[in-house]
Structure 1
């Protein structure tokens, strides 16, 4: 069964369709016509004139407004969809999507802090929380013996009630006694590590990859199978040089993108 798709806001939450006002196209410009239309729509989204859940003009409406073909109008809407600014819902039209979350990979922060900084409400669904024996790959990353007791936490992370990430965390049991008794659906993991266990973090080693969603991931994240995912593997190190956490975070590609500022000296 195909994974459920995210739905636009119900009619009672959608603002009335606005009277569309656009600047004339420059048909003598080297800039493609579809891109000029896309740019004007994007400006309305980024300025707040159009908000998440608002309907966008249909292909027919754009054709009449700009006196262009439906193919050109379709190209403009598809470009917005590919950038994550719009989504099409069969039988209903094309709507403004929730903005993508930009994850600054140069700075270490937890999901809860990231979402709150963006004005979004973070919540979690606990999928697994138990003490298990460390398998070889996790044991290697944590610098412990295979079979050692570790706490495995798997969570579905939501922002404003929308599933955006799957997260697996492995913690050495010897460093975190009693951790399995905590309710991580309500508290920040990093806050607990810092305040309850006195862990001070010095750095994180991360590997970033892109891949397609399998059936289970698609079901949980409410995307179509083989949708794009951003995958980040992380090992967290304490100030005394010990690995204290191994994690695997899987983000929806339509809701997340990784950003990194590179100093100029790095390219000289």
Structure 2
């Protein structure tokens, strides 16, 4: 049996709004306006050719609300990274040459609950190390890190090999928990008072080593999917460097994209 798991819903389903007839979604006024600003900016309706968002006064006129409501609507979008503010220039939609995705930041256990499968884990190794790649040290801002290596399973089938790296003050606290089914982000938020708000993730391919092939039950040299995630706080502090090596037939990254007019 091949188990297919949707690991991320990256992006949001959007349709181009009708400027004259579309009504805001139910909820607080600033929340309604926030959703419309985000949607209409991504498709290019509220930004200029340089990606600069219309002014608070202009947006207030468009949505028939006060500048305070506009300000309250935009602030969370800046915190989420949808927009960035440049002093003296305005507010700009964040984009780059690569595709820019927005999605839910979830851990393996949280995904298991949503997708209704039985998640499991085998601890392969854990503890302090200074033998990690320089990239990891630079991302976490420390020389020695706490490293957790696990084989993740779903319905007893191998899904991924996880290498999770943390600063020592976080990792040494995490090791006091049951690491086979820990919800790391919930622990960081609820017990450690660490405000986890976003992540940057890259996805690439690699060939399976002999050990990886044995753990994931594939042939040596098979193509594997690798994701590298930097988990950040609102202050852009990296609190987790997570490398996941996924079984090629068991993971699916679902991505919804929208074309923004340039």
Report TM bin, short chain. 0.5 to 0.7
Contact 1:235 1:247 in 2 (8 A): yes
Q: What's the counterpart of residue 67 of structure 1? A: none
Partner Cα separation in structure 2 for residue 142 and residue 243 of structure 1: 6
In the TM superposition, 1:133-152 aligns within 5 A as: 133=130, 135=132, 136-144=134-142, 146=143, 148=144, 150-152=145-147
Partner Cα separation in structure 2 for residue 102 and residue 183 of structure 1: 23
- Does 2:84 correspond to 1:125? no
Q: What's the counterpart of residue 168 of structure 2? A: 173
Shift of 1:177: 4.7
Partner Cα separation in structure 2 for residue 252 and residue 184 of structure 1: 21
In the TM superposition, 1:1-268 aligns within 5 A as: 97-105=2-10, 106-133=103-130, 135=132, 136-144=134-142, 146=143, 148=144, 150-175=145-170, 177-265=172-260, 268=262
Alpha carbons of 1:212 and 1:134: their partners in 2 closer, same or farther (altered >3 Å)?
A: closer
Contact 1:230 1:257 in 2 (8 A): no
Shift of 1:255: 0.7
In structure 2, the gaps of 5 or more residues are 11-102
Partner Cα separation in structure 1 for residue 3 and residue 203 of structure 2: 23
Residue by residue, what CA displacement relative to the aligned partner does 1:172-204 show, whole Å, maximum 9, x if unpaired? 013455333322013222222122111111221
Partner Cα separation in structure 2 for residue 112 and residue 204 of structure 1: 17
Alpha carbons of 1:98 and 1:169: their partners in 2 closer, same or farther (altered >3 Å)?
A: closer
CA RMSD of aligned residues (A): 1.9
User: Taking structure 1 as the reference length, what is the TM-score of the superposition?
Assistant: 0.58
In structure 1, the gaps of 5 or more residues are 1-52, 54-96
Alpha carbons of 1:240 and 1:100: their partners in 2 closer, same or farther (altered >3 Å)?
A: closer
Partner Cα separation in structure 2 for residue 102 and residue 174 of structure 1: 29
Contact 2:109 2:181 in 1 (8 A): no
Q: Structure 1 stretch 123-132 or stretch 179-188: which is displaced more?
A: 179-188
Residue by residue, what CA displacement relative to the aligned partner does 1:26-83 show, whole Å, maximum 9, x if unpaired? xxxxxxxxxxxxxxxxxxxxxxxxxxx5xxxxxxxxxxxxxxxxxxxxxxxxxxxxxx
Q: What's the counterpart of residue 76 of structure 1? A: none
Q: What's the counterpart of residue 11 of structure 1? A: none
User: Taking structure 2 as the reference length, what is the TM-score of the superposition?
Assistant: 0.60
Larger radius of gyration: 1
Instruction: Classify the secondary structure of the residue corresponding to 2:218.
Output: coil
